[in-house]
Structure 1
Amino acid sequence: MNKKKKQIIDAAHQLFIEKGFALTSIQDILNKAHIAKGTFYNYFNSKNECLLAILEFVKEEVDQKRRELAQGKENDDEQVFVDQMAVRMNMNRQHHLLVVFESVSFSDDIELKAFMKEQHNKELRWITKRLEDIYPPTAKRYTLDHAVMLVGIVHHIMHVWKLGSTTEIETEKIIQYALARVKAMINEQIQSKEVFFPESWLTQAIDCDTIDVSETKRKTVEQLKSLAEKVGHEETKKTDYIQFVLTELQADEPRTFLLESILISLEHAFKHSTYDYEVRSISKMVWGIIDHIEENKH
């Protein structure tokens, strides 16, 4: 990420925590970041865009850590799911996002509220999909019910724990406990066939993750070729990663399991480099293509 842009984001983030989103003005951000108004508007059109950039940055970090945890592991590995679910909650705590979310909830801004709603929607869909990996196939139609219950139990246990204790408790421990409770209910639910939320409940809204795969592939290939030219032949290992991704993307049947592995290596290779943001942007598109390929296999 551009150094100046990160300077603005860091300043805004700190102010949103200290003062709340609604009470923070653009002038406050300018003063905190020690920049001119023109510099701010070089990167963001509004305070909202600045907040969305913070949330998007954290989301990308969460997605990357979850992928790393899953690398080389089976989809039905329960501990991997527990650790992955904890990543989001720990990240929210680390970045004090719950304070920011609470501030936004009192805002009248329709765009921001819609964004927050969609983020919650996506997380529930992710948990639902992961429960499908862990539960038996006969439980698929009940996994959304269980995702909702799991999230509710975890959050309420955390809340009550804070009321009675000043010590921290591991997020993973709470998730493991809550997961065991909801799993214990699945056999009874399969027998009774009682469902509260139908499978289509969260897909009734427009899915912002839907992509034009052929167009995304074309753009990604162009960006990878451009990146390879900029990196040059001096950075052989990095160039090899780029060429590998290019080759797989242009194959008739890309090997997603290999792409997943090399993408993580690619992201690590360019971390904190001049091309860090560019690589993460490319990686995000490739992960979208992988998800599309995997979904169409079933």
Structure 2
Amino acid sequence: MHAVFLDQQTFSANISLDNIRQQVTSLNCFATTSPEQLLSRCAQADIVITNKVELTQNTLEQLPKLKLVCVAATGTNNVDLAAAAQLGIQVKNVAGYSTTSVSQYVFAQMLEYFNQTNLYNQDSAQGAWQKSPTFCYHSGEISELYGKKLGIVGYGNLGKAVAKIAEAFGMKILIAERPYAATIRQNRLSFEQVLSEADILTLHCPQTPETENLINAQTLSQMKPSAMLINTARGALVNSNDLHAALKNKRLGYGVLDVLEQEPPSADHILIRAISAQEPDLHLNNLKITAHIAWASIESQQRLLDLLADNISHFKSKC
């Protein structure tokens, strides 16, 4: 079977593809693939591997040799699943590979914020500690995670992994029920109660019509002004304009975003402008944005591609 990888550049350069190569006759890899290049690159492929390249109904109908689409991610929204099923093309995604990486990221961000390690390293680099009249130098408030209330929205594998680590820190865990649910399941609290009580709110729910724009002016107004928001799920869960207003007006203490509604974002995205602005009145120092890397530990990336190879192996065994 002949395979093509349409956007290998979404993975680090030193991630091994050996397990995938063992499952196919040939593997052609492309750093990125534009819509204009898509058909010619896939024309002879039995298997197409894509992370984010879109495979529409029109594209799939023009690929008669195609038997399997391997999505190198959990989400399959870049593939027309109905068209694939109608054409007899199987679509396989990969799940569960990034749990450790994402939960580690969440706590890396929490610990940096509450321990202020970058600030104190900067103090030492700029000579502030060296000039201190005492053995230590206090420039930022350090606070413990112990006893803080962690609100978790989305209690699948990721939410549970975050909760397990939080228990080790002695945090109080608040598991949110689905927004505006009529009934509250055991060991959960209403979404509204979690919003109002959480010192840190971390999002781990999927993007659905019900969760799009979940964090907006109304829900932000229910959070503590000192609260920290972390989004490693999907960018569309958070209304960027409303978050910007809440952070600018100090109605929210701190925001950490690893995802945005458009990726990569435009240079004039309101939140990108806010972290890059040099003018004090435009710059937000209570916002941090990273480039969708919470999932991307070396181990997680390798795990994903190895699981993808398992999907190909399983497909072959059924042929």
Larger Rg: 2
* TM-score between both structures, scaled by the size of structure 1: 0.24
Flag the structure with higher strand content.
2
